[in-house]
A and B are shown apart, each in its own frame.
Chain A
Amino acid sequence: MKIVVCVKQVPDTKGGVKFKPDGTLDRAAMLAIMNPDDKAGLEAALRMKDEDPENTTVTVVTMGLPKADEVLREALAMGADEGLLITDRVLGGADTWATSSTIAGALKNMEYDLIITGRQAIDGDTAQVGPQISEHLDIPVISYAEDIKVDRAAKTVTVKRQFDDRYHILTAKMPCLVTALSELNEPRYMTPGGIFDAFQKEVTVWGRDKLDVADENIGKNGSPTVIAKASDKVAKGKGEVVTPDSPAEAVNYIVGKLTEKHVI
């Protein structure tokens, strides 16, 4: 089984968010990590490989600056087999449409049974790229996976999909795409030896010429999204803790607050 995992190098928001004057993220100025949902997706793929290592390959794909090579090395150190970096100046400034078109353009030239992406990236928070890739490739998508089970004989994937206050159990035929939640699992650590091996491996680098995608769908010019304004998230004010003496008093307090804010 051939599994492709799409990962993104994202700024580590714990270190603070920095913007360029045009409102896009200043990625070079921030510490970078593998997006947590993507890491859970990678872990899910590696667990499938653990079950049948001889017949499973895990290829990790990322799109970004040459520096994004780091997340591929990390994925290789965790146990992935191959890495592919999609990088080209003409791809810069892509929104979700251009990003998904570009990644799909690479996937069209690859073999896969299952594509796993993270639900969403902690920098953009759109949750659009995974499902958009499936549309470009015309394959089924199951998003928000809490659990993934593969039936290799039947060539199907059964996913427990998070949905508001309940979940759905959905089965799709492979090839298909699944978007993973970070709640899916606890990703493994790299191993020290795995890190050194990862830097010995060849990472494939594809530029624009290797991608099966139209020029009007790539980069800043191929991005319909226009950022009006970007800002750091506003810190929440301190909460208020009250300790009413009785349930009745608690109800009165809450109703009073809701009335005060014109909620009811």
Chain B
Amino acid sequence: MDFQLSKEHQMARDLFREFAEKEVKPLAIEVDEKHEFPRETVTKMQKYGFMGIPIPKEYGGQGCDPLTYAMCVEELAKVCGTTAVIVSAHTSLCCDPIMTYGTEEQKQKYLVPLAKGEKLGAFGLTEPGAGTDAQGVQTKAVLTEDGKEWILNGSKCFITNGKEADVYIIIAYTDIVEDKRGRKQKKFSAFIVEKDTPGFTFGTKENKMGICGSSTYELIFQDCHIPAENLLGARGKGFAVAMHTLDGGRIGIAAQALGIAEGALDRTIEYVKERKQFGRAIAAFQNTQFQLANMATQCEAAKLLVYQAADAKATKSYYGVEAAKAKLFAAETAMDVTTKCVQLFGGYGYIREYEVERMMRDAKITEIYEGTSEVQRMVISGALLK
């Protein structure tokens, strides 16, 4: 067992850190305040290959491992949660399922421009009545009689990269079957849908608590015709596509949560050395010291879980439990650490320009999206009790 990063990984981390400090951090407050998608940053990330880190080179990616990708999301999240989730949703939720389930034609047509960053990706599973309970999905796809097209009807909500994306992976039910007891069950399929397809429009832009620069939209499909060849994976196997995709996505979100926690802790360490109360820096008080010690330990533990999950994705065919543990712990660490950081900042922590306030708002969503903490507990306990 080796806890040392290789020289390659260390250099990659330095690269991501330098990029985040120079290109992302200066915009983070504005992106949050104006609820503005950081398009310029995405263009820069495209130039340097950040939008296809774990995708093989023959498909336009960088050919790196999931750990390198997770470190990229982590370093971005240290300075801007919004920028981190743009990369995570694009890579884990759109590139990865096409890489895993796509035909060679689908990979050439969609994955190559996505991995090069020429196009941005998104993923749609959640609906107003279907979050954790996927059976609640109402979006339906029907194959035309000539078998050439699917007709999609329904809507998706809370979609990250919503209006900014070019390519969407959409989960819809295509069949209803009866199980042994005669209960009806929906069978899902996954589809690749392009922006500007007739019948595909955008609904409400969500006004969120955190990750405010991320473009979160409702997607609406009204008699939206999709070519039959855009079915991703086998018909009726869409639930497996979605679950596999979310297993990978959870590593990205865990890395985001880890980065947010580390970023808040870094700022707090600087602050407590400068802030004076009762004639000395608040770093001199044991309460501060013990809080910092606890937070640093939580971050380190989260990091080990995230890196372990990333390593599992590279080496195992099923890594859902590792991903669930990493996301559960990293997300709860992010929420706990950022809340304590705001407390150590005192009144200033509640003020926007001190940034830990934004990090606390950004942290909350990591406990919710791509599977709530409760879902992660279900996944972990399910594996323990099977």
Contacts and interface: CB of A to CB of B under 8 A. Distances in A.
A199 B62 contact: no
B11 A195 contact: yes
Given A196-B63, A196-B64, A191 B48 contact: yes
Contacts of A194: 49
A74 B19 CA distance: 15
B72 interface: yes
A190 B62 contact: no
Contact of B57 (A73, A74, A193, A199): A193
Nearest to A74: B11
B26 to A, nearest CB: 15
Contact of B8 (A188, A189, A199): A199
**Would you call the interface of chain A mostly helix, strand, loop, or mixed?**
helix
B11 A193 contact: no
A194 B62 CA distance: 8
Interface string B1-21: 000000110011001001100
B164 to A, nearest CB: 22
B49 A191 contact: yes
Nearest to B11: A195
29 contacts: A73-B11, A189-B15, A189-B48, A190-B11, A190-B15, A190-B48, A191-B48, A191-B49, A192-B48, A192-B49, A192-B50, A192-B53, A192-B62, A192-B68, A192-B72, A193-B49, A193-B53, A193-B61, A193-B63, A194-B49, A195-B8, A195-B11, A195-B12, A195-B15, A196-B12, A196-B63, A196-B64, A196-B68, A199-B7
Interface of B: 7-8, 11-12, 15, 18-19, 48-50, 53, 57, 61-64, 68, 72
Contacts, number: 48
Contacts of B7: 70, 73, 199
B8 A196 contact: yes
A193 B56 CA distance: 10
Nearest to A191: B49
A72 to B, nearest CB: 12
A70 B8 CA distance: 10
Interface string A73-85: 1100100000000
A73 B8 CA distance: 9
Contacts of A192: 12, 15, 48-50, 53, 62, 64, 68, 72
A68 to B, nearest CB: 13
Nearest to A186: B22
A191 B62 contact: yes
A70 to B, nearest CB: 8
Contacts of A189: 15, 18-19, 48
